[in-house]
Amino acid sequence: MDLLIRGIPAKALFYHSDSNEAYDVFVSIEHGWPDAPRYCRRYGDENILEVERCDYEFIHYVHDRTLKRYFVEKMIMDTESEIQLYEKEIMHCPIIHLAQRWSETDRDKWWTQLYPSRFELLRLNKQRALRRLKRYLKLRKEC
């Protein structure tokens, strides 16, 4: 079963689009929850395009409160599981692997000293996910 959401602008569906052209978006239902939008088409057109993004920008154009709440809850669950994966990786990874940099450092090339370690990358990604989670929780209160 698919839901049809009308009037979503292109900038909420595609990364490199500044257009406000309206699209019809198809959302499939899986296990009782709306899945992320996968396909869309221009209003009045038959060509079906693949959606490139479903994130915070998309939510603002969904006006049905129940559907909006489902999308926000799904984004919260995905972000929480992402945070748990980062924590698990940090806790169970050997210290030697966490200290490794993603490339060898060279004393003659100063910028190689700035290469982050695996631990720094995991920590930064976890912080970004925590900021997204905070934003989604705030959005859930608004729904």
User: What percent of the chain shows pLDDT beyond 90?
Assistant: 25
Confidence of residue 21 (pLDDT cuts 50, 70, 90): confident
Residue 138: HSE in the Cβ half-sphere, 13 Å Cα cutoff:
7
Tens digits of per-residue pLDDT, 41-57?
Answer: 887 778 888 887 666 67
Residue that has been written with the tokens 């998309």 in this structure: 58
Residue 48: HSE in the Cβ half-sphere, 13 Å Cα cutoff:
7
Which of the pair, 121 or 40, is modelled with greater confidence?
Answer: 121
Residue 19's pLDDT is what?
76
Q: Is 73:63 a contact under the CB 8 Å cutoff?
A: no
State whether residue 86 is helix, strand or coil.
Answer: helix
pTM listed for this prediction: 0.75
Pairing of β 22-30 and β 49-50: unpaired
